[in-house]
Amino acid sequence: MTAPRTSATALISLLTDAGSFRSWDVAPIDVTPDETYRAELARARERSGVDESVLTGEGRIRGRRVAIVACEFGFLGGSIGLAAAERLVLAIERATLEGLPILAGPASGGTRMQEGTLAFLSMVKISAAVSRHKAAGLPYLVYLRHPTTGGVFASWGSLGNVTIAEPNALIGFLGPRVYEAIYGEAFPEGVQTSENLYRNGLIDGIASPAQLPELVARVLTVLDRSTSASVPEPERWDGVDGDTWDSVLLSRRIDRPGIRALLHHGARHVVPLNGTGQGERDLGLVLALAKFGSRSCVVMGQDRQAQRARTPLGPAALREARRGMRLATDLRLPLVTAIDTPGAALSTEAEEGGLAGEIARCLAELVMHPGQTISVILGEGTGGGALALLPADRTLAGRHAWLSPLPPEGASAIVHRDITHAPQMAAAQGIGAAALLADGIVDWVVPELPDAADEPAEFCARVSATLEYFLAELHEQSPGPRLDARLTRYRRLGLS
């Protein structure tokens, strides 16, 4: 069952606050001397009630100014010719100049065949305009409507910072009618659907047109970087050390709060994201936009429970993490990473999927990331999977969190050829929060009173307050000296 079609005018009316929409459109440019095509355009205008396949303008969504570009499928299947492309580019350029976020609502069969290759090449200039808009640090949000195919999907329909789709919408590169004409058989059912795209990590979510205004408002609230609030210093750990092995065991409690609990109890205005955007999704990694107190950020964290219950942390999770890094750069938001993993996958699939290379790329990209970064070790921090999300300007740890190249049992097996020496290895290797603080690996230890699993909401609130404090501190630092300090920190580890 496919989605009912919502016209561009109906979508704009549904999205924008009453009376707030102002059209930016002027008469379309004249693109053809062909009388047959001119007659076709005239019929399309009469039938659809609009003058081209794209409508543009600005309105307010829950009070926030937003530029809107939307296809009208009723006008020659929402196809993009030279006039529609020029209208789109002018609107995108104006939004960039005025510093407005853009919400794009494509619903199109792709390039207008009556205009051929010139129209086809228009996708380049549309993509260039979108890229310049994003390079200015301005949000570009996409709402894929039924149907979206062809060059539109393969250009400005797939460039969103956040991409949502209509339920049951037909979305795909090669339209099913074209596929059948070329190959003589129907395209497989269930592939070119919103739901399948979500399952495969290609879009961030599915929402009906009625749900869209609230969702867009939430995204823009999180992306609002303006703040003047001062942040008090968070609660300090009392410095009383304990047995490291006890911390290891406590970190493995099934009810210990992880990244999802932190977002639930400690963050505001959370917008979950999904997948790499390139056809992969790993449930072991959570990616979201969120606010901790008054501070907006991109959050990516390892979900220890999902890893244990389903699959270990694989290379797709780290590719999703790298999407988070790019998103933080594009949106000029701080990046928060949460470490909580019993270890990365040990499998044929992980090896063939390039796990080691993904760890290396995460390390290299994080340590050189241009924005503000904070990592927090929430619980278990085992091996390369943990290390991949560690490099940051500031690193926090829960009182019973730890970081080690192998679980203590693995270290014991290497050194003692048994696992019974795991408690001694945990102490000797300096993996606990107190040792990490003393060695300069961690900057702040978040108290657990006495164990996060016994006070999940309170612990998450303390982590949130600590994140807000350090996000505020980093906001005041100049980018160049901040990056230099980060590099110096890791260059000097273990030398002083």
Chain centre distance of CA 163? 9
Using CB atoms within 10 Å of the CB of residue 283, give its burial: 0 to 12 exposed, 13 to 18 middle, 19+ buried.
middle
Class (C level, CATH) for 227-492 = alpha beta
pLDDT value at 4 more than 80: no
pLDDT at 311 (0 to 100): 76
Residue 276: name the closest of 316, 330, 320, 329 by CA: 320
User: Can you tell me the mean pLDDT for 286-305?
Assistant: 96
CATH number of 8-222: 3.90.226.10
63: DSSP letter: T
User: Can you tell me the mean pLDDT for 468-491?
Assistant: 97
Measured distance between the N- and C-terminal CA atoms of the chain, rounded to whole angstroms: 66
pLDDT at 2 (0 to 100): 61
pLDDT single digits (tens) 265-280: 999 999 999 999 999 9
Among 35-44, 180-189, 246-255, the minimum mean pLDDT is found in 180-189
pLDDT value at 63 more than 70: yes
User: Can you tell me the mean pLDDT for 281-287?
Assistant: 95
Question: Do 8-222 and 227-492 share a fold?
Answer: yes
pLDDT single digits (tens) 455-474: 999 999 999 999 999 999 99
Using CB atoms within 10 Å of the CB of residue 224, give its burial: 0 to 12 exposed, 13 to 18 middle, 19+ buried.
middle
Give me the residue spans of the domains in the chain. 8-222, 227-492
Using CB atoms within 10 Å of the CB of residue 43, give its burial: 0 to 12 exposed, 13 to 18 middle, 19+ buried.
exposed
SS3 141: strand
pLDDT at 309 (0 to 100): 61
Contact in structure between 306 and 315 (CB atoms under 8 Å): no
Q: How confident is the model at residue 310 (pLDDT cuts 50, 70, 90)?
A: low
pLDDT at 312 (0 to 100): 85
Q: What is the pTM of this model?
A: 0.95
pLDDT single digits (tens) 175-223: 788 888 888 888 888 999 999 999 999 999 999 999 999 999 999 999 9
pLDDT at 110 (0 to 100): 94
Look up residue 273 and give its amino acid. Answer: L
pLDDT value at 308 more than 90: no
pLDDT at 245 (0 to 100): 97
pLDDT value at 1 more than 80: no
pLDDT single digits (tens) 341-367: 999 988 889 999 999 999 999 999 999
